[in-house]
Amino acid sequence: MEDTEQVQGLGPADLIALAAATMAIGVAVSAIMIDIGTSSTVVMLATVTAFSGSGELAFAAVILSGGSVAAGLISALLVSSRFGLMAMSIANLWPMPLWERLAAMQLSGEPAVAAALTARNPRTARRLYWQIALAMGIGWVAGSALGTLVGNVIGDTKAIGLDAVFPAVLLGTVAAALRSRDTATAAVSGAMIAVALVPFVPAGVPFLVAALTAVLASRVPAGPLGWRTLLTRGHRGADQAHHDQS
């Protein structure tokens, strides 16, 4: 409460770590794109103009399973539809001129949006958003450039575990959501219904259905969740403050 007007931000170590992590994702995605026969030029253009690693991965997954380019594109666009939701959720967080809106919607990513949404005031939201979005954007482009080289050298990106990197990063993004009842409901229900639907609906549709589970979760009141809360009810304030700082 007392620091409502204080602008908080991330230090260089955190930002370098974020850039490095995104770089790893960029390497993985571009290596896979090269694997399905994309030219290095198109991969680098896609990195900047599409700005959606998961979209590129979805496209590659369809092509690798023998699907058509049209099916791959539909799948990629559906997976990337969440960037529209992310743009929506930051639209009113702080006052933005037109150029900033255009840049913010193009460079959006889950970690930046999540940080901005949990910020205590608009100026902190703006600062955190741009710190994270730019660190990740730089890492993403650098990683993609490296990936076009790696893709031509390492045939099997799975052998170096690159397919585990993307979900691990996403987990780091949503882990904080598991602390409150409403956000945990949104995360768990979205995850479960999406996996359950994968065998039965076209690629990408599970993400849209998952988005609908948020409507149900929005009926759940916010509040701490878990056994730790039950055991340490009296110390919750201190515990929460500790979490918020790190």
Partner 1 sequence: MSLLALAILSIGNAITRATGMFVLGRRAGVNPRWTKLMALVPISVVAAVFAVQTFTSRDQIVLDARIAGVAAASVAVWRKAPMVIVVLIAAGVAAGVRALHLGG
Q: Which of residues 116-175 bind partner 1 (CB under 8 A)?
A: 117, 158-175
CA dist., res. 6 & res. 120, Å (int): 9
Q: Does 215 help bind partner 1 (rule: CB under 8 A)?
A: yes
Identify the residue among 3, 45, 223, 235 touching partner 1 (CB under 8 A).
45
Helices marked H in the chain: 12-35, 40-49, 53-64, 69-79, 82-90, 98-106, 110-118, 122-153, 162-174, 181-197, 205-217, 227-231, 236-245
CA angle 80, 82, 88 (to 5 degrees): 130
Residues 29, 30, 31, 108: which binds partner 1 (CB under 8 A)? Answer: 108
Contact residue for partner 1 among 71, 154, 191, 225 (CB under 8 A): 191
Cα-Cα-Cα-Cα torsion 47, 49, 54, 55, nearest 10 degrees, comes to -130
Q: Within 73-92, which residues bind partner 1 (CB under 8 A)?
A: 73, 76-77, 79-92
> Closer to partner 1 at the Cβ: 11 or 237?
11
Stretch in the footprint of partner 1 (CB under 8 A) among 12-20, 123-131, 145-153, 226-234: 12-20
CA distance 59 to 73: 6
Alpha-carbon span 228 to 225, nearest angstrom = 8
Contacts of 108 (CB under 8 A, 6+ apart): 83, 86, 87, 90, 133
The answer to whether residue 183 forms part of the interface with partner 1 (CB under 8 A) is yes
> Interacting stretch for partner 1, rule CB under 8 A, among 2-10, 147-155, 195-203, 231-239?
195-203
- Cβ proximity to partner 1: between 4 and 92 the closer is 92
Nearer to partner 1, 56 or 137 (CB): 56
Contact 109, 132 (CB under 8 A): yes
Which 15-44 positions form the footprint of partner 1 (CB under 8 A)?
16-18, 20-21, 24, 33, 36, 38, 42-43
Shortest distance (Å) from residue 225 CB to partner 1: 14
> For residues 200 and 234, which CB has a smaller minimum distance to partner 1 in the complex?
200
Instruction: Report the nearest approach of partner 1 to the CB of residue 96 (Å).
Output: 9
* Nearest residue (CB) to partner 1, 9 versus 234: 9
Task: Yes or no: say if 227 and 207 are a contact pair by the CB < 8 Å rule.
Answer: no
4-12, 111-119, 145-153, 225-233 -> range binding partner 1 (CB under 8 A): 111-119
- Rule CB under 8 A: say whether 206 interacts with partner 1: yes
Q: How many residues does the chain have?
A: 246
Measured distance CA(54)–CA(86) in Å, rounded: 14
Place of tokens 């929460």: 240
